[in-house]
């Protein structure tokens, strides 16, 4: 299941990277369209949530592994 989150995180980072690259490489006189700004904000929130979930999953996995070692 952790691989699914890693793939999802990779996809989000890749899409964000390409979007930022397009913004940087556009001609200076071109009017900037702000319609996608909400989408980028949602992507950044999704990345933050995925990172938090990954940390929680790792902490739970470490706890369960250490406690299972104590079982006789």
Domain boundaries, the chain: 2-68
Pairwise pLDDT comparison (3 vs 61), residue with the higher score = 61
Residue 72 host element (H or E)? none
Rounded CA-CA distance 15/44 in Å is 11
What's residue 59's pLDDT?
Answer: 92
pLDDT in tens, 58-72: 999 999 998 888 887
What's residue 60's pLDDT?
Answer: 92
pLDDT in tens, 4-51: 777 888 888 888 877 777 666 666 666 666 666 677 788 888 889 999
Rounded CA-CA distance 62/19 in Å is 36
Quick check: 8 and 43 in contact, CB under 8 A? no
């Amino acid at each position: 299941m952790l691989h699914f989150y890693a793939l999802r995180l990779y996809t989000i980072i890749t899409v964000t990277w390409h979007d930022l690259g397009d913004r940087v490489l556009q001609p200076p006189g071109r009017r900037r369209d702000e319609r996608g700004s909400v989408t980028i904000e949602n992507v950044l929130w999704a990345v933050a949530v995925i990172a938090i979930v990954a940390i929680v999953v790792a902490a739970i996995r470490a706890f369960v592994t250490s406690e299972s070692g104590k079982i006789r």
